[in-house]
């Protein structure tokens, strides 16, 4: 769990992730402000800088910049199979990567208690809150297990370029699948033990709320929606 002096409300992070999914990944309003989307995609970079993840922020901005420049200057001159492959890579890195980084920031800087409290304040049903709360613990735990399995397999020389490369699937994938099933059951039991899904309204000791930095990010996120909606309304009356 990453802690920082500059904190954002979980609802602000979820709004950023949803906006990334609609306008960057979904391509809504590309004709209106497609040229300005790269500026919007800088927000995950700024957020990672604020939590001190300099390497991750640098890796993200370098990858995004390289593939964006390829999309603008190289891709229009490419044809054939190579052009198709480059188009696929550029699309993944410029459309999917910003949303992945926004989701990564949300999961690494938000506790389950903060997320549950935010969902409760938005009056979201427990049928949605509980699975998402379990997911917040599931993926980071799976990542830790995967790193541990990798370390153990490297010690046994089960890796690409090693002597036992033919055993990679058996000795890496199967333990990961078993761990995933076990972790899912344990997290589900933990959620029930904590009273999630009970009839009584659940209290929460964590404090969340909007601050000055939240209002800035919310304003930035609302700008594409306003432009998009105004454009659609103007088209109806033209």
pLDDT score of 58 more than 90: yes
pLDDT score of 234 more than 80: yes
CA distance linking residue 112 with residue 127, whole number of Å = 15
Q: Is residue 207 part of a domain?
A: no
What pLDDT, on a 0 to 100 scale, did the predictor assign at position 4?
55
What percent of the chain is predicted at pLDDT more than 70?
A: 86
3-state SS, residue 176? helix
**Nearest CA among 233, 220, 224, 232 for reference residue 34:** 224
Domain count, the chain: 1
- Quickly list DSSP for 102-136: HHHHHHHH--HHHHHHHHHHTT--HHHHHHHHHHH
Tell me the whole-structure pTM to 2 decimals: 0.81
pLDDT-derived band at 25 (thresholds 50, 70, 90) equals confident
pLDDT score of 216 more than 70: yes
Q: Is residue 199 part of a domain?
A: no
**Nearest CA among 143, 111, 206, 42 for reference residue 50:** 42
Over residues 105-139, the pLDDT tens digits come to: 998 888 888 888 888 888 888 778 877 877 777 87
Q: Is residue 3 part of a domain?
A: no
Domain span at residue 159 reads 10-194+212-236
């Amino acid at each position: 769990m990453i802690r920082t002096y500059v904190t954002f409300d979980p609802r602000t992070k979820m709004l950023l992730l949803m906006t990334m999914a609609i306008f960057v990944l979904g391509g809504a309003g590309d004709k209106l402000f497609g040229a300005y989307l790269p500026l919007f995609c800088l927000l995950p970079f700024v957020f990672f800088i604020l939590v001190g993840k300099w390497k991750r922020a640098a890796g993200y901005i370098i990858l995004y910049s390289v593939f964006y420049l390829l999309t603008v200057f190289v891709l229009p001159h490419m044809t054939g199979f190579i052009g198709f492959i480059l188009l696929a890579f550029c699309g993944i890195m410029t459309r999917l990567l910003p949303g992945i980084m926004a989701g990564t920031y949300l999961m690494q800087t938000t506790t389950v208690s903060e997320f549950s409290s935010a969902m409760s304040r938005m009056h979201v049903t427990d049928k949605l809150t509980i699975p998402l709360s379990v997911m917040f613990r599931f993926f980071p735990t799976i990542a830790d297990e995967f790193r541990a399995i990798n370390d153990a397999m490297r010690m046994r020389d089960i890796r690409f370029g090693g002597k036992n490369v033919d055993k990679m699937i058996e000795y890496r994938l199967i333990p990961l699948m078993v761990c995933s099933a076990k972790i899912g059951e344990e997290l589900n039991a933990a959620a029930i033990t904590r009273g999630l899904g009970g009839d009584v309204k659940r209290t929460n000791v964590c404090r969340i709320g909007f601050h000055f930095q939240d209002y800035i990010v919310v304003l930035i996120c609302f700008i594409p929606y306003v432009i998009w909606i105004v454009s659609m309304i103007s088209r109806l009356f033209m």
